[in-house]
Amino acid sequence: RKPVTLPRLLDMHARGEPITVLTAYDASFGAVLDAAGIEVILIGDSLGMVVQGRDSTLPVTVDEVAYHTACVARGSKTAWIVADLPFGSYHGGIDLALANAVKLMQAGAHMVKVEGGEWLAPTIRAFVRAGIPVCAHLGLTPQSVHVLGGYRVQGRNDASAAQLRADAFALQDAGATMLVLEMVPAALAGRVTAELRIPTIGIGAGAQCSGQVLVLHDMLNVFPGRKPRFVRNFMDGASSIADAVARYRDAVKSRAFPAAEHSF
């Protein structure tokens, strides 16, 4: 199998083939996902919750994400590797943001992900100028949980839906080449997906996104905490972890997942 590149992902998007994304945090799971043909592996700051046992993503540091990125990169041969810039690591000026993004790229990432709207445009421009592809993240942005007041659906009223669409265009114009939409109504995610040039990756955002992502520990049902409505337990009926990952891939490719019961 050939390595997944950004042009290949954009080509899948152009052809309407769903992009499959899962998180991973270590070399063994990186290898399992890679072997199953998952195109994109995200080293999410969700590692704070599912690996470190914290109750939010806020304490995660860039060095921790870099460590887990290096682990995944050793295990994965072909997947496109995206690493989260964690809370506070891209908010204190562009030079600091760039230094932190460089750490993740040097650890083995191919793209970095940042949470937030139009205010990130100058940061995204600087990253792209420096040769760093950017995935943006709108809707429920867990690094802002204390501003948002909890892990809840975003973009439900007309004003916040309009704000999300404006942010999505601003991020695309700044040079973001992928956009995660988390916990937004399926109709809004479908509209944004149709309007943008770049692929959207949904989590709790309906079946019309250009691809889907889940947290690995959620879809394998090993995370002991509360499971959000948008998660499906892919171990249910699977013969192995590799089989569960293959079932996820097939369900996303055929748009059998997410179903209405996983959407808002």
- For the question of residue 39 being annotated catalytic, the response is no
Q: Are 249 and 202 in contact (CB under 8 A)?
A: no
* Residue in 39, 45, 64, 167 binding ligand KIV, rule: CB under 6 A: 45
- The amino acid present at 195, given as its one-letter code, is E
Q: Are 117 and 144 in contact (CB under 8 A)?
A: no
Give buried/exposed letters for 72-88 (b at 16+ CB in 10 A, else e). bbebbeebbbbbbbbbe
Q: Does 263 bind ligand KIV (CB under 6 A)?
A: no
Rounded to the nearest whole angstrom, what is the least distance from the CB of residue 260 to ligand KIV in the complex? 20
Q: Are 107 and 73 in contact (CB under 8 A)?
A: yes
Q: Does 23 bind ligand KIV (CB under 6 A)?
A: yes
Rounded to the nearest whole angstrom, what is the least distance from the CB of residue 115 to ligand KIV in the complex? 8
Q: Does 64 bind Na ion (CB under 5 A)?
A: no
Comparing C-alpha atoms, which of 148, 234, 146 is closest to residue 183?
Answer: 148
In the set 64, 182, 195, 261, the catalytic residue is: 182
Element (H, E) at 201: strand 200-203
For residue 162, the tally of other CB atoms under 10 A from its CB is 12
* Residue in 34, 39, 45, 218 binding Na ion, rule: CB under 5 A: 45
User: Quick one: which segment of 43-51, 73-81, 97-105, 254-262 binds Na ion (CB under 5 A)?
Assistant: 43-51
Q: Does 44 bind ligand KIV (CB under 6 A)?
A: yes
Q: Does 84 bind Na ion (CB under 5 A)?
A: yes
CA distances from 39 to 51, 71, 80, 212 (A): 22, 17, 6, 11
Rounded Cα distance, 84 and 62, in Å: 8
Residue 23 binding: pick among ligand KIV, Na ion, none (C-beta 5-8 Å cut-off by kind)? ligand KIV
User: Quick one: which segment of 43-51, 158-166, 167-175, 246-254 binds ligand KIV (CB under 6 A)?
Assistant: 43-51
* Residue in 109, 180, 181, 220 binding ligand KIV, rule: CB under 6 A: 180
Q: Which bin fits 175, alpha (ψ -120 to 50), beta or left (φ > 0)? A: left
Residue window 190-229: x/- pattern of binding to ligand KIV, with contact defined by CB under 6 A = -------------x---------x-x--------------
Q: Does 48 bind Na ion (CB under 5 A)?
A: no
Rounded Cα distance, 93 and 198, in Å: 26
Binding site for ligand KIV (CB under 6 A): 23, 42, 44-46, 84, 180, 182, 203, 213, 215
Active site residues: 182
